[in-house]
Amino acid sequence: MTLQSTPPGPGSSAVQVAFHRTELNVILSLYGRMVAAGEWRDYGISSLSDMAVFSIFRRTAEYPLYRIEKRPKLRNKQGMYAVVSMDGQVMRRGHDLKTVLRVLERKLIRAVD
């Protein structure tokens, strides 16, 4: 597990976007099932001034397979949650975290089969 946090620099506001406990429960539930299936092995959490990111890794020392992003500024537009693949493609975006994470649950079903 890797936790990353950037301290506020001079002239920046101390407010950072972070995942709420209920959001983390949903994400970690999916993460635990994927670890049990042998698909994922590590994760990292970043809290930035404009977004929070939960990065999912297959191995510790590589680029993340997926990023689950929370961008509150997009709340009234496309939705503040997004799943982004390794190549930067937005796989799904929306207002409800559970609905957005369904794109990764399909991968779990394929891994179990």
The pLDDT score that the predictor gives to residue 9 is: 55
Q: In tens digits, what is the pLDDT along the chain, a chain of 113 residues?
A: 445 545 555 555 568 888 899 999 999 999 999 999 888 889 999 998 899 999 999 876 678 899 999 998 888 888 899 999 998 899 999 999 999 999 988 766 655 55
DSSP 20-70: -HHHHHHHHHHHHHHHHTTS--EEEEEE-SS-EEEEEESSTTS--SEEEEE
pTM for the structure as a whole: 0.79
**Could you tell me the residue ranges of all domains in the chain?**
2-6+13-112
Rg for the chain, CA atoms, rounded: 14
The CA-atom distances, in angstroms, between 82 and each of 1, 3, 4, 27, 36 are 21, 20, 19, 12, 24
pLDDT of residue 93: 93
